[in-house]
Amino acid sequence: MRLERLPGIHHDSACIVVSGTESTVIIDSGTSWHQSNLVERLQPHLEGRASVEAILLTHRHFDSCGAAPYLAQQFDATIKVHEDAVAPLAGGDLFTTWASRYDSDMPPIDAQGFSDGDQISLGDVTLHVLHTPGHTMDACCFHIPEKDAVICGDLVPAAGHPSRADMPTGNLVAMKESLERVRDLSPNLLVCGRGEAISGSDVCADVLNKHIESVELRIEGKGELPSGWPKPAETCHWLTPEPAWPFQ
């Protein structure tokens, strides 16, 4: 198995490439703004790997899936997303995908739906779909038991930056449960949607506990940010604790 993370450009989410002996998947694509550049960046990382079978999406937001149709066309791959996002993406929904906040069109996306517990075999490695709502109702992570790894999307944007739940279909209570579910897997590697990957079981547990605590504070505050935390820009999908968390 090979796993590589390409940091996103500007607003784009990270793009994750996972390859097994039989096939490769690309997880998240970023916006449509840099899609040609992304294909050029991906090409060297795909050399010597099994062919790309699917573009997997962690959730419906434009900054994570806007380029998915272009990638699917370039690599002759199928797009897959949680079943709750299939209809909104097919209709090019501007509101719940947050594309309207980027003053951008949302390209209609023809995707197949997956659900919690589905498995995607790549040969010598299998991705297990975890439905982890909170950031959006359709948000999912991908668990790789062989490596004790979880690909988190925007459930864990970065070690020191907790996820927002105040966007359309977001839910703080669901986010807390999703973070607890990932923590209970005792991962040794968290591949974040924005920041660098988090390695080591103790560090992963520390990060997840801190994220859970931040959600609990927001639940207690009826959705308000903790005192002193700056309000994020509309196109920013994560929060900035103040003061910064010590492991940042």
Whether 237 maps to a domain, the answer reads no
Do residues 98 and 133 make contact, with C-beta atoms less than 8 angstroms apart? no
Instruction: Tell me, yes or no, whether 17 lies in a domain.
Output: yes
Buried b (16+ CB within 10 A) or exposed e, 53-69: bbbbbbbbbbbbbbbbb
Angle, CA 136 vertex, CA 133 and CA 139 arms, to 5° = 55
Mind listing the pLDDT tens digit for each residue in 57-102?
Answer: 999 999 999 999 999 999 999 999 999 999 999 999 999 999 999 9
Summarised one tens digit per residue, pLDDT across range 107-137 is 999 999 999 999 999 999 999 999 999 999 9
- Residue 204, number of CB atoms within 10 A of its CB: 25
187: containing domain: 2-220
* Number of domains observed in the structure of the chain: 1
In a domain, 241, yes or no: no
CATH number for the domain harbouring residue 10: 3.60.15.10
The answer as to whether 139 is a domain residue is yes
Nearest to 58 by CA among 68, 70, 72: 68
pTM of the predicted protein model: 0.96
Identify whether the C-beta of residue 68 lies closer than 8 Å to the C-beta of residue 42.
Answer: no
Q: Which is nearest to 144 in space by CA: 164, 162, 127?
A: 127
Q: What is the DSSP letter of 99?
A: G
